[in-house]
A and B are shown apart, each in its own frame.
Chain A
């Protein structure tokens, strides 16, 4: 179904990263997080950045497109950055630069701010490579497969995954539907663009009611269709598209293993993030 991919930020392309198994990609993502949090100094973060750039290059997604995902949480990065800058409470080796009321700006807090903001930035960029190169359906397939062991403790993994993929599948449909209803109500003079928050919320009523009615109708239809095809839950079901690990996933594994090993070495060799201060301040 073509609709599957028009949702979210999936960027269609044929690349090494696109072709990785979704399960492998999810695990790589976790490995990437480990690498980012393991890095104790700026050399480590630089290594992760290089790795990230390499991954973007391999994914054939335009760099601006990946960067766009950061825009959404730019506020969060700036906000936490300011908090770190003003309220850093760690041990200070050097004289603070500014000390006023409860606010302290020190060399350490600057380092801390830059370091944490950069870490957050790397995490968001990395996650967006996953969502840019994996269709939502592949992603749920991957999650379902990875969570399978939980079935032994009676977690309905298949059902949860099915609910997730149905929800994802219906997002574009409901977006279409919303657009159609908005257009129809606009044609009848509805105004969604002016007025305060309350007025705008009220203006959404003629959209929300038909939307809920149609979502329920679709749910009914889908339920009927599934029953008509004898759907009875996960027991004995086989998959149409089987996930298969390939040489690409193995290669990916090597890359990530190298990344983590590299980070560990850089940590040992260059020490903590504040050591850079000794270099500049000559301590």
Chain B
């Protein structure tokens, strides 16, 4: 499913002294199959934007189309849309509520896929819990509140992917995780991306995360998209990102420092590519010295 937004606007608390315009005309297209990154500082409108994608915030200005769903139309089936566009909020572990892990994970399934038999549901729950890297048999009857922070987050994510949404949106999925947890989370996302989950959209402050994982990205600032393209293109514009109060990945920083030393490196800013380009240059230089 392709996501097309045109001139999207949104105002919180309209017609009151507290009115604040969060989106000021967002034009953005996210193709099916992308691992899309959304970057922006706090209050840039990125969370407001992603909440439009499954109609948690109703369209109030502009146009938005997600696959065959036209969100500006009143006839749009929002419940069906939500079953196809999964949304993992920031700190999703704070939304766990059920008595057992199994009950919590199956919540979405029971809401969206009422036609499934008990056995099919159990199978889907098992698959989701195992996909997020947890032991179904050991955890299914435990209270989600007794788990560790990392496990809670996995259970919460399992509760969203259990319905196998075609588009999965994650708002700061790695926030508050330790380095290992972050790595495992990204591996998890890559493992489902390209399978039943066609498109992944992550909102992130972590530029390294975007550079490493995303095929395309957009930079939000003050309710608008100010930069858009491949991460390698975006992170070349370091000055612009700095002026927006944003950062660049470590590899881009190194490339800048090397450039100051007169060494140009043409990299896409993933660690692998960066190491490869640097070592190639070093070997060439080494040969030269001989």
A189/B112 in contact, CB under 8 A = yes
B86 interface neighbour in A187, A190, A205, Cβ under 8 Å: A187
Q: Report B55-97 CB contacts with A as 1/0, cut-off 8 Å.
A: 0100000000000000000000001001100110100101111
Report yes or no: B92 in contact with A189, Cβ–Cβ below 8 A.
no
Is there an interface contact between B97 and A210, defined as CB atoms closer than 8 Å? Answer: yes
B274 in contact (CB, < 8 A) = no
Question: In the complex where A189-B112, A191-B111, A206-B107 touch, is A184 in contact with B95 (Cβ < 8 A)?
Answer: yes
Beta-carbon nearest neighbor of A187 in chain B: B87
Q: Let me know if B56 and A183 touch, CB within 8 A.
A: yes
A residues in contact with B160, CB < 8 Å: 187-188
B55 CB, min distance to chain A CBs, angstroms = 9
Question: Considering the chains assembled together, what is the distance between the CA atoms of A214 and B86 in angstroms?
Answer: 23
Taken together as a complex, chains A and B put the C-alpha atoms of A12 and B16 apart, in Å, by 10
Q: Which of B17, B56, B96 contacts A187 (CB 8 A)?
A: B56
B133 close to A (CB within 8 Å): no
Interface of B is mostly: helix
Contact with B along A174-191 (1 / 0, CB 8 A): 000000110111111111
What per-residue 1/0 map shows which CB atoms of A185-215 lie under 8 Å from chain B? 1111111000000000000011111100110
Q: How far is the CB of A69 from chain B (nearest CB, A)?
A: 15
Residue on A nearest B92 in the bound complex, by CB: A184
Mask of A94-121 contacts with B, CB within 8 angstroms, 1/0: 0000000000000000000000000000
Question: For the complex, what is the distance from the CA of A187 to the CA of B83, rounded to whole Å?
Answer: 8
A190 in contact with B111 given A183-B89, A185-B95, A214-B94 (CB within 8 Å): yes
For B89, list chain A residues within 8 Å (CB): 180, 183-184, 187
Q: Which residue in chain B gives the minimum CB-CB distance to A207?
A: B97
The answer to whether A189 touches B108 (Cβ under 8 A) is: yes
CA distance A6 to B112 in the complex (A): 35
Instruction: Report how far A145 CA is from B92 CA in the complex, Å.
Output: 42
**Which residue of chain A is the closest to B99 with respect to CB atoms?**
A209
Answer whether residue B159 sits at the interface, using C-beta atoms and an 8 A cutoff: yes
B51 contacts which chain A residues (CB < 8 A)? 183
What is the distance, in angstroms, from A180's C-beta to the closest C-beta of chain B? 6
Q: Judge whether A11 is part of the interface by a CB distance below 8 angstroms.
A: yes
29 A–B pairs (Cβ distance < 8 Å), ordered by A: A6-B18, A11-B17, A13-B17, A180-B95, A183-B51, A183-B56, A183-B89, A184-B95, A185-B107, A187-B82, A187-B89, A187-B160, A188-B111, A188-B159, A188-B160, A189-B79, A189-B82, A189-B107, A189-B108, A190-B107, A190-B111, A191-B79, A191-B111, A205-B97, A206-B97, A206-B107, A210-B96, A210-B97, A213-B145
Knowing that A184-B95, A188-B108, A188-B160 touch, tell me 18 more A-B residue pairs with CB under 8 angstroms.
A180-B89, A183-B51, A184-B87, A184-B89, A186-B82, A187-B86, A187-B89, A188-B111, A188-B159, A189-B107, A189-B111, A205-B97, A206-B95, A209-B97, A210-B94, A210-B95, A213-B94, A213-B145
Give 7 closest A-B pairs by Cβ, nearest first: A189-B111, A188-B108, A209-B97, A187-B87, A184-B95, A189-B112, A206-B97
